[in-house]
Copies of this chain bind each other. A is one copy, B any other.
């Protein structure tokens, strides 16, 4: 953990750009801050992260359906959802250089005082009392005003009608609730998930992939009977210990306490939260985030979203400090109730004879932030300029790269044959250009776990070397055994040294 704080994160950003993981969007035109693109390698990895999430969270037992709704939504929806009124940030403008800043962030950075959620009058007072100045020009700051974070557009010809780019994928699920119930015939509890893009017109985007204006989410809206006892699958996770940072601990500067799932039920506003929190902790550990870098923070009342009756956000310790990566909200019947009232449509469902307006528990995952954490915690450096990412095999862009030792004497052809034999079952890539050392280095930079090299001995006895990314050790194995060996390594069934005869 201490190592993470010491990482030169600029190095990670540099590799990510140079190797096609993350590019600044529209960079050749200077871009707009808060927009990033996934390059060829990043795109492969993002797909694997989303697939891994689906496999882990959207199990048939959980009855979680997935849908894909539009990113543009009519004003009525976002008025009803409360976003028009409450999805806001406090902004202050410098009287000298006209730069605009988020007032709360400016105060926090300048005074260390945590003020998220305070009203504009209070913020203006603190800025004045503490003498907070413009960080760009040192000028005086104007009064704090409220700024809505939604991006607006006009749909339709000429005058058009106002619509918004969705601030969360969740609203697309809530307004479809009746259609979902009707078509799936699902009984409570059931969930609806969505993976997609959302938008926030951040006043000051920052920290690379952390605070973006266009970002990608994976959200689950779990619909439950408010009288429901607990999730049927909860007991499977009773062994998990949740590191929870209570409000009391935050007020006193204390540490998270470890609560068993059973114990956590007394603290959490809804038992389904415990279920998702336990799974989140396990999934992020699978991605390589150490348990000590994860905590669940009970949000204070003034920072809790307007729709939530309690948030226990999963935070990860980044190089710059702790930051939310999964929002866990107990949305109650807030959304369905307001959409029912505003649309005039009945959004209850039948539980036996009784009409029930379901409550909602929502874990909302930030894909971009997950990516940041993955890169941060996978980054390795041998201190002599050799850098690599220790991605888990299932998340790495490729499981293996196949190389000929040199580009002559039939080795490239032999290596390509091996590559073609592997690629239908494994994510494999092939590279024959440059020295073998350069190819190992390039492969390490995108975190390919295993390099398979075809050398002169291969021509004699059909064996190849497999090189382990994490310690550069090599073993020798026969070409015929490769599928079994790679499968075993990917599943973690065999250790690397058992994968063949160690060399040297």
Contact = CB atoms under 8 A, between A and B. Distances in A.
Interface stretch (A71-79, A222-230, A248-256): A71-79
A152 B71 CA distance: 14
A65 B44 CA distance: 9
Contact of A27 (B29, B175, B184): B175
A76 B178 contact: no
Nearest to A16: B183
Given A25-B69, A25-B172, A40-B183, A153 B155 contact: no
Nearest to A60: B423
B155 A154 contact: no
Nearest to A178: B28
A176 B24 CA distance: 9
Contacts of A18: 182-183
Nearest to A164: B153
A6 interface: no
Contacts of A343: 28-29
Contact of A157 (B26, B100, B165, B214): B100
Given A70-B35, A71-B197, A184-B20, A77 B153 contact: no
A37 B76 contact: no
A28 B175 contact: yes
A263 B36 CA distance: 44
A439 to B, nearest CB: 11
The count of identical subunits is: 2
Nearest to A204: B157
A201 B162 CA distance: 12
A214 B72 contact: yes
Interface string A430-468: 100100000000000000000000000000000000000
13 contacts: A20-B183, A26-B74, A28-B178, A35-B72, A37-B68, A39-B176, A40-B183, A40-B184, A41-B183, A71-B214, A91-B157, A153-B153, A165-B165
Interface of A: 17-20, 23, 25-32, 34-44, 46, 60, 65-74, 76-77, 80, 91, 93, 100, 147, 151-158, 160-161, 163, 165, 172, 175-176, 178-180, 182-185, 192, 197, 199, 201, 203, 213-214, 339, 342-343, 345, 347, 423, 430, 433
